[in-house]
């Protein structure tokens, strides 16, 4: 995926992410050290820690850049189906990055980060559309849907991403509870 590099900070972050991606082609996250990442990016450890708390924070930042940005356009220029499809296409294009990242169950892991990101996004979207904060039954329904959709995304990623992105998006749309279908821009 191509990125617009606006400044030296962006350049350094993307170099660190590229080094991490390169290492993830042959190792699980737990076997990668910050020193390995710094060596690959040719930056110092203090530089790494200037931008990221740990290697998981780097993975989550990169995920944010490549996958969740598609959701920011939902409701304006994209439907939910289009945003989900785009997310899955990007995940496929990134090769081994997502399967390796989703296999990690350490603290601050990508699965937890993805759940929190998507849940927070939907909460904000629903609050904007309805004029009030999500609570009660709707909050429960949204949590269950987000947990299920993230679980299925992880399963899809770690099992080889063989189901086409459009089909994954359609399956998640079909499993969307009616209460959410009435609010979210599905089609």
CB–CB of 151/144 below 8 Å? no
pLDDT given for residue 165 in this prediction: 96
pLDDT given for residue 65 in this prediction: 84
pLDDT given for residue 64 in this prediction: 86
pLDDT given for residue 39 in this prediction: 97
CB–CB of 87/69 below 8 Å? no
pLDDT given for residue 80 in this prediction: 87
pLDDT given for residue 111 in this prediction: 93
pLDDT given for residue 75 in this prediction: 57
Backbone torsions φ then ψ of 38, nearest 5 degrees = -60, -40
Helix and strand numbers (H, E) in the chain are 10, 0
Counting as low any pLDDT under 70, the low residues of the chain are 1-5, 68-77
- Tell the burial category of 169 from Cβ atoms under 10 Å away from its Cβ (0-12, 13-18, 19+): buried
């Amino acid at each position: 995926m191509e990125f617009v590099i606006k400044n030296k900070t962006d350049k350094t972050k993307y170099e660190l992410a590229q080094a991490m991606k390169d290492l993830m082609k042959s190792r699980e996250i737990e076997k990668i050290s910050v020193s390995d990442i710094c060596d690959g990016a040719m930056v110092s450890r203090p530089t790494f820690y200037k931008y990221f708390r740990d290697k998981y924070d780097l993975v989550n930042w990169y995920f944010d850049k490549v996958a969740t940005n598609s959701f920011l356009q939902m409701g304006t220029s994209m439907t939910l189906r289009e945003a989900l499809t785009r997310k899955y296409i990007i995940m496929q294009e990134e090769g081994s990055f997502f399967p390796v990242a989703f296999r990690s169950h350490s603290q601050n892991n990508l699965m937890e980060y993805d759940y929190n990101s998507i849940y927070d996004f939907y909460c904000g979207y629903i609050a904007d559309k309805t004029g009030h904060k999500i609570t009660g039954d709707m909050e429960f329904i949204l949590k269950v849907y987000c947990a299920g959709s993230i679980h299925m995304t992880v399963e899809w990623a770690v099992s080889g991403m063989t189901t086409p992105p459009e089909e994954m998006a359609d399956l998640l749309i079909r499993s969307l509870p009616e209460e959410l279908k009435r609010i979210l821009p599905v089609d």
